[in-house]
Structures are given as C-alpha cells and as structure tokens.
Amino acid sequence: MEEEEKVSRRKFGGLLTIGGIAAAIAALWGLRRYLHAEANEAVVIAETGSLAPGGSLVFQYPTPEAPCLLICTSEGKYVAYSRICTHAGCPVFFHPENNDIECPCHGGVFSVADGHVLEGPPPRPLPRIEIEVQGRNIIARGIAKS
C-alpha cells in the first residue's frame, strides 16, 4: 500500500496565500471595469417618444450585467434607478397604479421620486442613474453618489 504524500503547514499556507492573492486580483479587475464604465460612458437608453407618462423601460447600465429601470413620470420628465433591490438583490418592478417601485421578494417598496425606501426591509435607497435628455435621446451619464 502506498503512503500518501502529506502537505506541510508551510506549503499549505503558501497555497492559501497564492489563492487569496489570485482572488483579490480578480475582484479588483472586475471593480476596475465597473468603475471605468461608470465614470466614462454616456449611453443612449431610449428616445423621448418611446415612453408615455407612467411607462417604464428596462435597460443595462453601466455594464451589460447591470439592469436599470427608466420611468416616465410625466410628459418629458424621467427618472432612472438600478433595478437591483438593496435588500437581497432581487429585481424591482415599477407599479404605475401605486406610483412606486416594488420588490416582490420581501415586500420592499421604493419611491419613484427619489428612490428612498417607503416600506420593507431594504437598508438603502435604490441607486439613482443620472440621465439627461438631448433632443430626442435619453442618455445615461453615470450613477449618482448618495
């Protein structure tokens, strides 16, 4: 019967250190991509005539993996927020009949006016997307600092 080769504590610690460094580099690379897109990209997300008052549209910003929600509050007035609930990461939905944004997972409710929490467990408001209307284009310009 062959005897198994044992790994010393020193070698095991070295392997853990290398794995930790690799994980940190991967996380920083992803963060760099997100921050770069947030800081530098303006993206056309819709045309002004495409949404009637009370209408909404899902779009991705600042990366293709980041869903957001554009809402037409009145003729020519728009707001946009991240579509990810700040409680557990579930997608939120605009409910024009209640004029609010709701998370079906745990009953979170957010204000359409500014994204603050109206009900439920979410600890923070929805991140607001800075938008601008230029001619017929609605443009996402960045994520507002809270």
Query: Chain-wide mean pLDDT for the chain?
Result: 88
Cβ-based neighbours of 79, under 8 Å, separated by 6 or more: 70, 71, 73, 112, 113, 115, 128, 131
Q: Is the pTM of this model over 0.75?
A: no
Query: For residue 32, is pLDDT > 70?
Result: no
Query: For residue 86, is pLDDT > 70?
Result: yes
SS3 47: strand
Peptide bond into 123 cis (omega under 30): no
- Which residues, in sequence order, are bridge partners of residue 134? 137
Query: For residue 69, is pLDDT > 70?
Result: yes
CA 112 from chain center: how many Å? 16
Query: For residue 38, is pLDDT > 80?
Result: no
CATH superfamily of 43-143: Rieske [2Fe-2S] iron-sulphur domain (2.102.10.10)
